[in-house]
Amino acid sequence: MSLVTTTPFSTTGLDELTPSRYALRVGDIDVLVISDGVLPIPAVTMATNAAPDALAAWLSDMFLPPETLDWPLNVAVVRSGGRTILIDSGLGTEFPDFPRAGQLAMRLDGAGIDPASVTDVVLTHLHMDHIGGLLVDGLRGRLRADLRVHLAAAEAEFWEAPDFTRTAMPAPVPDVLRATASRFLAVYRNQLRPFETEYEVAPGVMIRRTGGHTPGHSIVRLESRGERLTFAGDAVFQPGFDNPGWHNGFEHDPEESTRVRVRLLNELAASGEQLVATHLPFPSVCHVAVAGDAFRFVPAVWDH
């Protein structure tokens, strides 16, 4: 894959001291990774089935705080075949007490991307930190009337009556998740384009349902001119490379999530393609390497 500094994405607009967007190309496909910010999360949520001393050791080895972590939120804008595709939309204003998250609308403007130019939205799943941005007045009212919103049919069906019995999320997250998904489905019902297993949104832009994290959780595979990149949504979290069997508290089927994660990481290690995921450190562009019975996160070198 070639990382290039010259892309059709604008570099004008709001200037920030901390970089919040990163442009690359996958063959003929333009990709812009955008940070929606970070939100605090209890560290134990990252590994609910891990022994406390094992989790503490991992956090220490990674120079991460022992109690509360800043969880990155990454989204992406993809351009292919005349279509502009937003992959997920961040947190929005679902948690007003988290002012460092919900930055998407401002950062689209900073990147020179008019929301009215977005033809399609792809949702990996309907958790609030992936759909909240589309409910913000400053963004929702600027989207085109014929916007197409793609998600797995199983995901929309699940959120009609969600089951949280196997999750381990801190309060009041379950109630907010349920309310946000319900509101989202009501607002965007007529624009939903559900698919069963996989769907090609634009040339070389394929959505594929994996399940696990939620019943309809999906990933996005980009492929053009022999180059590939996968946007993995919540299939992979930061501890999942070293400890792929650790369960995240947001996973609705922890065992299936582990199978999905291991299968995907093995695929990525074998193919050598690049990976982007929602909750990996921005811009999250990396490779995956096999390390014994686990994996290694290998960050891509930034191309300036």
DSSP 11: -
Q: Are 131 and 192 in contact (CB under 8 A)?
A: no
Cβ count near 30 (within 10 Å): 19
**With b meaning 16 or more CB within 10 Å and e meaning fewer, what string describes 94-127?**
bbeebeebbbbbbbbbbbebebebbbbbbbbbbb
pLDDT of residue 3: 33
* Two tokens, residue 225: 């001119």
Given a cut of 60, whether residue 12 has pLDDT beyond it is: no
H helices, E strands: number in the chain: 7, 14
Q: Are 257 and 248 in contact (CB under 8 A)?
A: yes
In tens, the pLDDT along 78-101 reads: 999 999 999 999 999 888 888 899
| Overall average pLDDT of the 141-170 stretch | 96
**With b meaning 16 or more CB within 10 Å and e meaning fewer, what string describes 201-220?**
bbebbbbebbbbbbbbbbbb
Superfamily of the domain at 21-299:
Ribonuclease Z/Hydroxyacylglutathione hydrolase-like (3.60.15.10)
Angle formed at CA 108 by CA 104 and CA 112, multiple of 5 degrees: 170
Share of the chain above pLDDT 70, in %: 94
In tens, the pLDDT along 257-287 reads: 999 999 999 999 999 999 999 999 999 999 9
Candidates 255, 248, 256, 254; CA nearest to 277 is 248
> What does the mean pLDDT of the chain come to?
93
Residues 6+ apart with CB under 8 A from 124: 87, 88, 130, 217, 218, 219, 220, 231, 233, 234, 278
pLDDT of residue 118: 98
Strands (E), the chain: 21-26, 29-42, 68-80, 83-87, 120-122, 148-152, 192-195, 198-202, 205-209, 218-224, 227-231, 274-276, 286-291, 294-299
pLDDT of residue 96: 81
Cis peptide before 283 (omega within 30 of 0): yes
pLDDT of residue 171: 87
pLDDT of residue 139: 93
In tens, the pLDDT along 188-245 reads: 999 999 999 999 999 999 999 999 999 999 999 999 999 999 999 999 999 999 999 9
pLDDT of residue 95: 80
Helix, strand or coil, per DSSP, at residue 268 = helix
pLDDT of residue 97: 81
Given a cut of 50, whether residue 107 has pLDDT beyond it is: yes
pLDDT of residue 170: 87
- When comparing pLDDT for 253 and 138, which is higher? 253
Given a cut of 50, whether residue 1 has pLDDT beyond it is: no
Given a cut of 70, whether residue 2 has pLDDT beyond it is: no
Residue with tokens 């792929």: 244
Helix, strand or coil, per DSSP, at residue 108 = helix
Candidates 249, 246, 182, 251; CA nearest to 214 is 251
Given a cut of 70, whether residue 20 has pLDDT beyond it is: yes
Cα(47)–Cα(35) distance, rounded to whole angstroms? 24
Given a cut of 60, whether residue 11 has pLDDT beyond it is: no
Cα(75)–Cα(300) distance, rounded to whole angstroms? 17
Cα(35)–Cα(20) distance, rounded to whole angstroms? 5
Cα(176)–Cα(128) distance, rounded to whole angstroms? 8
Residues 6+ apart with CB under 8 A from 57: none
Given a cut of 70, whether residue 162 has pLDDT beyond it is: yes
Given a cut of 90, whether residue 7 has pLDDT beyond it is: no
- When comparing pLDDT for 233 and 11, which is higher? 233
Cβ count near 137 (within 10 Å): 10
Domain boundaries along the sequence of the chain:
21-299
Q: Are 238 and 279 in contact (CB under 8 A)?
A: yes
